[in-house]
């Protein structure tokens, strides 16, 4: 079961750390005790809407952005729980290996672009989605 206070705390901590700010700095700007802010970030306390608004103000982020991020995490957690309850597992498959007869250069040795005669396509690296996640991984669903 997903706990909102834990996801909210993780989101606030992630935002604070992304700004390279300390608990002390944010607690001072939000006018909340350092200990209480720490407990919120660890998911031990659930902040009131006023306190949450004050922390978001100190972090200079919109409350709606924080809540939307938490909502995405809740949705992800619910999907994972549903798949686990249904006995569905998703796992990454290993990349196919080249035949032993193919010559493979060490990483960083020359260009990865396709050249005539090597029968290898250009390797642009993994495709990334808007959130930075890898999108061209091979997945297998197992029941």
Give yes or no for a contact between 16 and 59, defined as CB atoms under 8 angstroms apart: yes
Cβ-proximal residues to 33 (8 Å cutoff; 6+ apart), any chain = 27
140 SS3 class:
strand
Q: Which of 32, 28, 23, 18 lies closest to 65 in space, CA to CA?
A: 18
Residue with structure tokens 């493979």?
104
Q: Which of 15, 3, 20 lies closest to 65 in space, CA to CA?
A: 15
d(CA 83, CA 91): 12
| 5-59 tens-digit pLDDT | 999 999 999 999 999 999 999 999 999 999 999 999 999 999 999 999 999 999 9
Q: Which of 99, 95, 97 lies closest to 137 in space, CA to CA?
A: 95
CA angle (3, 133, 79) in 5-degree steps: 35
| Backbone φ, ψ for residue 15 (5° rounding) | -65, -45
* Tokens representing residue 124 in the block: 């642009």
| 112-139 tens-digit pLDDT | 454 555 554 555 555 555 555 554 444 4
Kindly report the pTM of this predicted structure: 0.59
Domains of the chain (ranges, CATH numbers): 4-86 (1.10.260.40)
| 61-119 tens-digit pLDDT | 999 999 999 999 999 888 888 888 887 666 666 777 766 655 555 555 554 454 555 55
């Amino acid at each position: 079961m997903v706990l909102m206070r834990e996801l909210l705390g993780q989101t606030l901590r992630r935002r604070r750390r992304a700004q390279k700010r300390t608990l002390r700095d944010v607690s001072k700007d939000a006018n909340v005790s350092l200990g209480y802010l720490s407990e919120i970030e660890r998911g031990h306390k659930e902040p009131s809407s006023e306190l949450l608004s004050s922390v978001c103000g100190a972090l200079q982020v919109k409350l709606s952005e924080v809540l939307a991020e938490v909502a995405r995490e809740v949705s992800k957690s619910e999907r994972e729980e549903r798949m686990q309850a249904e006995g569905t597992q998703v796992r990454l498959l290993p990349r196919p290996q080249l035949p032993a007869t193919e010559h493979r250069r060490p990483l960083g040795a020359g260009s990865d672009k396709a050249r005539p005669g090597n029968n290898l396509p250009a390797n642009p690296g993994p495709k990334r989605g808007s959130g930075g996640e890898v999108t061209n991984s091979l997945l297998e669903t197992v029941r």
